[in-house]
């Protein structure tokens, strides 16, 4: 596995000298025939793939204004060239956002613009050859669609849009990515990305109920497929078994329990993630989202709440209403859909939750803004709420909190390096190199501010960090879920923790 060198963490995030072609060998496994066909794509590379690709490009530019405007508008000013974590971690110039876009733009120019048709050399236009297709496959799978470049572009050009279009074109010619396409297939057949069947899910939840009761003495329920519940919780399936995700799920359940909420999970919508976005497919994204609408209708819930997941929240917040709305059958007095942090922060503000912050005193926390939450969504009713809600909740349940370098947080946050459909072992090298900027910023607060743990609100971030940060000398357990912190500090009524506090300490530890 380690046939590459882990970059060295420097004191600051530096701009590397170019090393052309240094990541040209990095490509994910290609989707098998049945993965492709399940999503309505050709099983293997079609014979007239050039024509199919160009037709698809033409179709996309007529249906997506972003694609057309972004292809035309770039002036090659260079503002984005040092903004991508994959470039900073790999030194490969094709990982500079503009250069990544140009892989597609040079073909657009060659076939669809006057200048490119008649003066290709002058404007850098190129024929669509097999080598170009290979470059697409390689470098459009070295983009996590995190949108950091789009923040800094004077025209708002979003490489994520270009990379989604490129992947859709590649799917259309029969060269899809195994990881994403296989997973989308599993959602359709089983109900979640991990292929966890309903019975297994029920067992997991039962086990969790026992664990929580053992820990606290309170019978906290993890309801599944309960008709007539008020709230449908849709959460990434990693929350059902991965660490530290599952501790976050326990946190949601405790908060629901303590606030007396009637809630349920759904077997058929046991996945918040939606990899349809990663492959740029409106149709697949919609099909995946439709399970959530259907589950909400079938169970007769009044509200939908999403668990901690970055890209899922972008789709839920920004696209769900478009794709499968309107949600006129839900209670209109709550945001549709709502983020679990909006729910928890609302309850904390109301004072319905009793918190003992000292439970988290053995940690000093920092927070990683997930790219899709930071730059593709919102929480609350004002711009930038997505930065405050998680910090507010963390500070409400922890005494020790420190932010990382502001050049690496909020709208300028660095992707964890595993988003956008890259969270697969066949892309380990790009994942390890891509986490470098975040690792650098984390190391700095660890050394200078005594930070011990980093909290995250995204299943992909959590999985990526626990796997790749150890390459840089961190340990897996330094990554925590935000609701894990809530879970630790929450003093439920009738719990052993409550008895202990009130027995030794009188009645006053409440915040």
Residue numbers 224-283 binding other proteins by CB under 8 A: 282-283
Phi and psi dihedrals of 233, rounded to 5? Answer: -95, 125
How far is residue 225's CA from residue 212's CA, in Å, rounded to a whole number? Answer: 20
Q: Does 158 bind other proteins (CB under 8 A)?
A: yes
How far is residue 9's CA from residue 327's CA, in Å, rounded to a whole number? Answer: 48
Q: Which is nearer to other proteins, 296 or 397 (CB)?
A: 296
Between residue 465 and residue 484, which ones bind other proteins under the rule CB under 8 A? Answer: none
How far is residue 483's CA from residue 341's CA, in Å, rounded to a whole number? Answer: 8
Between residue 292 and residue 311, which ones bind other proteins under the rule CB under 8 A? Answer: 293
- Tokens at 223, concatenated: 């309801």
Q: Which is nearer to other proteins, 98 or 455 (CB)?
A: 98
- In the complex, the smallest distance separating the C-beta of residue 320 from other proteins, rounded to whole angstroms, is 8
Between residue 402 and residue 441, which ones bind other proteins under the rule CB under 8 A? Answer: 411
Q: Does 336 bind other proteins (CB under 8 A)?
A: yes
Helix (H) / strand (E) element for 390: namely: helix 385-397
- In the complex, the smallest distance separating the C-beta of residue 157 from other proteins, rounded to whole angstroms, is 7
Q: Which is nearer to other proteins, 197 or 335 (CB)?
A: 335
Q: Which is nearer to other proteins, 1 or 122 (CB)?
A: 122
Q: Does 11 bind other proteins (CB under 8 A)?
A: no
Bridge partners of 338, per DSSP, are 305
Q: Does 155 bind other proteins (CB under 8 A)?
A: yes
How far is residue 406's CA from residue 237's CA, in Å, rounded to a whole number? Answer: 31
Whether 431 and 423 have beta carbons less than 8 Å apart is answered as: yes
Between residue 73 and residue 112, which ones bind other proteins under the rule CB under 8 A? Answer: 73-83, 93, 96, 98-99, 102
Q: Of the candidates 249, 340, 374, 442, which one interacts with other proteins according to CB under 8 A?
A: 374
Instruction: Report CA-CA distances (Å) from 83 to 66, 318, 484, 506.
Output: 20, 24, 32, 53
Whether 71 and 79 have beta carbons less than 8 Å apart is answered as: no
Site string for other proteins, 310-329 (x = CB under 8 A): -------xxx-xxxxxx---
Q: Which is nearer to other proteins, 61 or 431 (CB)?
A: 61
How far is residue 225's CA from residue 268's CA, in Å, rounded to a whole number? Answer: 9
Q: Of the candidates 122, 199, 507, 508, which one interacts with other proteins according to CB under 8 A?
A: 122
DSSP for 77-125 reads: --TTTT--HHHHHH--GGGSHHHHHHHHHHHHHHHH-HHHHH-HHHHT-
Q: Of the candidates 34, 65, 129, 228, which one interacts with other proteins according to CB under 8 A?
A: 65
* Bond before 337 cis per omega within 30 degrees: yes
Q: Which is nearer to other proteins, 91 or 400 (CB)?
A: 91
Q: Does 114 bind other proteins (CB under 8 A)?
A: yes
- In the complex, the smallest distance separating the C-beta of residue 471 from other proteins, rounded to whole angstroms, is 26
Q: Which stretch binds other proteins (CB under 8 A): 15-23, 185-193, 196-204, 460-468?
A: 15-23
């Amino acid at each position: 596995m380690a046939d590459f060198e882990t970059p060295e963490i420097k004191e600051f995030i530096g701009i590397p000298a170019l090393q052309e072609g240094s990541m040209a060998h990095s490509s994910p496994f290609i989707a098998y025939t049945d993965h492709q066909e399940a999503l309505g794509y050709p099983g293997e590379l079609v014979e007239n793939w050039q024509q199919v690709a160009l037709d698809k490009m033409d179709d996309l530019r007529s249906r997506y204004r972003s694609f057309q405007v972004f292809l035309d508008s770039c002036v090659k000013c260079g503002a984005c060239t040092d903004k991508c974590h994959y470039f900073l971690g790999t030194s490969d110039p094709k990982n500079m956002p503009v250069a990544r876009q140009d892989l597609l733009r040079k073909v657009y120019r060659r076939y669809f613009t006057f200048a490119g048709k008649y003066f290709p050399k002058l404007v850098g236009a190129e024929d669509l050859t097999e080598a170009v297709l290979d470059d697409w496959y390689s470098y459009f799978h070295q983009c996590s669609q995190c949108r950091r470049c789009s923040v800094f572009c004077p025209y708002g050009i979003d490489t994520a849009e270009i990379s989604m279009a490129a992947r859709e074109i590649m799917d259309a010619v029969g060269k899809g990515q195994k990881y994403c396409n296989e997973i989308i297939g599993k959602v359709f057949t089983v109900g979640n990305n991990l292929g966890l069947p309903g019975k297994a899910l029920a067992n997991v939840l039962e086990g969790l109920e026992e664990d929580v009761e053992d820990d606290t003495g309170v019978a906290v329920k993890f309801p599944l497929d309960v008709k007539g519940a008020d709230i449908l919780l849709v959460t990434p399936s990693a929350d059902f078994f991965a660490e530290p995700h599952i501790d976050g799920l326990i946190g949601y359940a405790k908060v629901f329990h303590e606030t007396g909420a009637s809630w349920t999970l759904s077997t058929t919508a046991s996945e918040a993630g939606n990899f349809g976005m990663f492959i740029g497919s409106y149709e697949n994204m919609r099909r995946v989202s439709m399970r959530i609408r259907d589950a909400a209708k079938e169970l007769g819930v009044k509200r939908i709440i999403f668990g901690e997941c970055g890209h899922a929240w972008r789709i839920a917040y920004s696209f769900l209403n478009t794709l499968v709305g309107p949600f006129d059958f839900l209670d209109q007095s709550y945001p549709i859909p709502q983020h679990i942090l909006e729910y928890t922060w609302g309850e904390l503000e109301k004072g319905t939750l009793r918190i003992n912050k000292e439970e988290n005193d053995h940690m000093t926390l920092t927070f990683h803004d997930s790219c899709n939450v930071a730059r593709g969504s919102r929480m609350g009713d004002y711009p930038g709420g997505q930065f405050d809600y998680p910090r507010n909740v963390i500070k409400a349940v922890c005494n020790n909190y420190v932010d990382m370098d502001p050049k690496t947080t909020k709208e300028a946050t660095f992707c964890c390096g595993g988003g956008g459909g890259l969270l697969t072992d066949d892309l380990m090298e790009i994942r390890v190199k891509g986490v470098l900027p975040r690792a650098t910023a984390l190391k700095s607060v660890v050394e200078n501010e005594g930070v011990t743990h980093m909290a995250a609100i995204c299943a992909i971030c959590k999985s990526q960090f626990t796997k790749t940060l150890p390459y840089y000398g961190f340990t897996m357990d330094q990554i925590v879920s935000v609701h894990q912190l809530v879970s630790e500090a929450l003093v439920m009524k009738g719990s052993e923790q409550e008895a202990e506090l009130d027995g030794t300490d009188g009645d006053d530890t409440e915040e």
